């Protein structure tokens, strides 16, 4: 069976099979330590081998998972988390397409292997793109999609003998097909006068490098055998009373008691309840406000959930604490409201991208990026073009950075990728994404896709179904997708709550002619608004800029051109934000890696920061603008207004 699957997934004919559904049942709470839970990160060096065999199936034919990887051939040291592409000196590995193999031996605390009341879970934060996992040679999980976590309960395996360690093997395939998210195609070249035998390349319609590997932490954690499996929180406000609705799902016992306590930031209990669902009322609640919208942004309560379950072996307790922000989100014909006040998105589009690590999670990079966002006065970003690491979402909650949470639906360009097979997978991805991110107060809107071919005929049904499904999963947040189609032809926009439009006037069109921007941008907004009467976000605009290139008068690729182009956009945004434009997100926060092409000088250079996070001139221009905008959207009674003070740029 497995061989067949591996065969089907070989690079020569990738075909996906439905694997997700079983994994979609149940929760995906972020593993946190508590009185009843432990966790063990498996970051560090793993053994690694790319399968360079012609059909990329040697690993399955020789069953590399059955014995330590070093016994079936040479291995490399591979850091986790990291993409495998840029850490080596081998060009073949950088552009490798097919299966790679990771392996790591984990030593387990004695209690985990001997206490049958302990449940041991293996969690993979992100494995791009398709992953198969074995523990001690036994198949435990498969997962499709590179940006969302998946788990396997491995208790039985590690508790079945006198073992104190376990061998974790993960095979990962980065091949994309028209049915994957994001989609891609394999192009075979058979003209032997031009290409060597078996030559193929992987093509994509998205503009970022298809980095692959174990991009986020792999970890082991424990729960008791009866445990808190999932928590869903929604919040509301009635006068000054905060309402926290909770729903808690338990596994492993039918007979249990639940207590919930809501603690304020000082650890004082402000409300409590019992049972699997209910509503907590918080008089004089501190609301969760976005950064630069309030004197005390991002106020977080903690929801402590305590489970006492009856099992055959006696009572079992489990404890889980979830950060909770009380806030409301609403959309009118022309406004985006947070806590009933108009919110204007002034922020960025990002990528998970950096030198050497590729898309690998990295704490110093994360903290640097948040410091830059706050320096800039950015109050929001979009997770272009896939869900980002959970640790990053947690920082958004803590700092008040508002998130448009985007699925990996980038580059849906072919009619095939709007088929029912693709749609089915996309629905599952939205389920996984909502399940992971539903409790983040920072997430105020879901984006199901970026720049799909939304004027193709099947797009109407596709987006109608996808958006309705996402709303059914989470009725508390608006849903959008990001379009670059024309207002007359787009078949998906009728179903969105907020129109997100990308445009590159005087860059991809009328290049070099900044004088056309104002007219074209105003026309763009007026057409969309006249047709739909929905709020609009300029979800991308920008210009390729090589840091250090200067030209005055401005020429394309110079820092002056990037600034000049932004200024032209801002003139129109300043008019239209008085009416129905509710946000502007620059493309892009930082330069990032793409496939090689004549249009890209070592990646996309539209960042206002370089890939090493140093500012281009445009960063200073945006900083001035964002702090000015922050002043206008200040809603607190206090006379203190946000100020961009040198040396303490994000304190006010």
Interface with ligand GCB (CB under 6 A): 207, 385, 450-451, 484, 502, 540, 587, 604, 606
| E-state strands within 325-473 | 329-331, 336-338, 341-342, 345-349, 380-382, 402-406, 443-450
CB under 8 Å to 425, separation ≥6 — which residues?
16, 20, 144, 179, 180, 181
305, β-bridge pairs: 260, 320
Please state at what angle helix 617-632 crosses helix 363-376, rounded to 10 degrees: 60
The count of C-alpha atoms lying within 13 angstroms of the C-alpha of 444, restricted to the half-sphere facing its C-beta, is 28
Nearer to ligand GCB, 320 or 589 (CB): 589
Structure letter (DSSP) for residue 650: T
13, β-bridge pairs: none
Please say if 451 is a catalytic residue.
Answer: yes
Token pair recorded at residue 13: 């004919």
First-to-last C-alpha distance (Å) of the chain: 61
- Residues 645 and 651 sit within 8 Å (Cβ to Cβ): yes
- Compute the distance between CA of residue 571 and CA of residue 569 in angstroms, rounded to an integer: 6
| E-state strands within 110-159 | 118-124, 127-128, 130-135, 138-144, 150-153
CB under 8 Å to 427, separation ≥6 — which residues?
465, 466, 469
- Compute the distance between CA of residue 112 and CA of residue 123 in angstroms, rounded to an integer: 16
Please state at what angle helix 390-399 crosses helix 363-376, rounded to 10 degrees: 30
| Residue nearest ligand GCB, Cβ-based | 207
CB of 451 to ligand GCB, least distance (A): 5
Query: Which of left, alpha, beta for 150 (phi over 0: left; psi -120 to 50: alpha)?
Result: beta
**Neighbouring C-beta atoms of residue 132, cutoff 10 Å:** 25
- Compute the distance between CA of residue 636 and CA of residue 294 in angstroms, rounded to an integer: 5
SS3 string, 191-245, reads: CCCCCCCCCEEEECCCCCCCCCEECCCEEEEEEECCEEEEEEEEEEEECCEEEEE
Nearest to 361 by CA among 78, 83, 93, 613: 83
CB of 65 to ligand GCB, least distance (A): 36
CA 201, distance to chain mean position in Å, is: 27
Query: Between β-strands 336-338 and 227-238, what pairing exists: parallel, antiparallel or unpaired?
Result: unpaired
Q: Which position among 103, 451, 540, 544 bears the catalytic label? A: 451
Structure letter (DSSP) for residue 295: S
Token pair recorded at residue 86: 């840029």
Nearer to ligand GCB, 207 or 474 (CB): 207
Active site residues: 451
């Amino acid at each position: 069976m497995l061989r067949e699957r591996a065969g089907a997934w070989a690079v020569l004919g990738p075909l996906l099979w439905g694997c997700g559904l079983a994994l979609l049942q149940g929760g995906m709470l972020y593993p946190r330590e508590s009185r009843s839970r432990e966790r063990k990160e498996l970051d560090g060096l793993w053994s690694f081998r790319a399968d360079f065999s012609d059909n990329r199936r040697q690993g399955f034919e020789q069953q590399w998972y059955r014995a330590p990887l070093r016994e079936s051939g040479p291995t490399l040291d591979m850091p986790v988390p990291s993409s495998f592409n840029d850490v080596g000196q081998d060009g073949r590995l950088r552009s490798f397409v097919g299966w790679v193999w990771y392996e790591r031996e984990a030593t387990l605390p004695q209690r985990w292997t001997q206490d049958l009341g302990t449940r041991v879970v293996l969690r993979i934060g992100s494995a791009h793109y398709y992953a198969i996992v074995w523990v001690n040679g036994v198949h435990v999980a498969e997962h499709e999609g590179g940006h969302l976590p998946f788990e396997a309960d491995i208790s039985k395996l590690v508790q079945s003998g006198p073992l104190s360690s376990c061998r974790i093997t993960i095979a990962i395939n980065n091949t994309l097909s028209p049915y994957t998210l994001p989609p891609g195609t394999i192009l075979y070249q058979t003209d032997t006068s031009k290409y060597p035998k078996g030559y193929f390349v992987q093509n994509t319609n998205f503009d970022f490098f298809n980095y692959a590997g174990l991009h986020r932490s792999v970890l082991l954690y424990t729960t008791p055998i009866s445990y808190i499996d999932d928590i869903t929180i929604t919040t509301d406000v009635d006068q000054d009373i905060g309402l926290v609705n909770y729903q808690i799902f338990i596994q492993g016992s039918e007979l249990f008691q639940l207590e919930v306590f809501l603690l304020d930031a000082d650890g004082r209990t402000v409300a409590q309840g019992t049972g699997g669902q209910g509503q907590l009322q918080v008089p004089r609640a501190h609301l969760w406000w976005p950064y630069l919208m309030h004197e005390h942004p991002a106020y977080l309560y903690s929801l402590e959930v305590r489970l006492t379950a009856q099992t055959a072996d006696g009572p079992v307790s489990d404890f889980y604490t979830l950060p909770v922000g009380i806030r409301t989100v609403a959309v009118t014909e022309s406004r985006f409201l947070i806590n009933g006040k108009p919110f204007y998105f002034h922020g960025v589009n990002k990528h998970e991208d950096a030198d050497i690590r590729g898309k690998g999670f990295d704490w110093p990079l994360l903290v640097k990026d948040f410091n830059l966002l706050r320096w800039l006065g950015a109050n929001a970003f979009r997770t272009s073009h896939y869900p980002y690491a959970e640790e990053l979402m947690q920082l958004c909650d803590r700092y008040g950075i508002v998130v448009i949470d985007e699925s990996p639906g980038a580059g849906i360009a072919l009619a095939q990728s709007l088929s029912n097979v693709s749609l089915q997978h996309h629905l599952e991805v939205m389920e996984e994404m909502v399940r992971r991110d539903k409790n983040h107060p920072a997430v105020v809107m879901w984006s199901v896709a970026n720049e799909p071919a939304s004027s193709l005929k099947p797009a109407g049904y596709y987006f109608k179904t996808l958006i309705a499904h996402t709303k059914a999963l989470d009725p508390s947040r608006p849903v959008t997708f990001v379009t670059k189609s024309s207002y007359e032809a787009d078949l998906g926009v009728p179903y969105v709550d907020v129109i997100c439009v990308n445009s590159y006037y005087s860059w991809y069109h009328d290049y070099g002619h900044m004088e056309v921007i104002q007219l074209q941008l105003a026309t763009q907004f007026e057409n969309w608004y006249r047709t739909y009467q929905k709020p609009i976000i300029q979800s991308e605009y920008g210009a390729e800029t090589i840091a250090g290139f200067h030209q005055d008068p401005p020429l394309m690729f110079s820092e002056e051109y990037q600034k000049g182009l932004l200024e032209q956009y801002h003139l129109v945004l300043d008019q239209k934000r008085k009416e129905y434009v509710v946000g502007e997100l620059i493309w892009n926060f930082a330069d990032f890696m793409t496939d090689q092409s004549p249009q890209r000088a070592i990646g996309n250079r539209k960042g206002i920061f370089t890939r090493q996070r140093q500012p281009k001139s445009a960063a200073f221009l945006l900083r001035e603008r964002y702090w000015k905008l922050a002043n206008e959207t200040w809603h607190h009674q206090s006379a203190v207004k946000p100020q961009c003070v040198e040396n303490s740029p994000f304190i006010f």
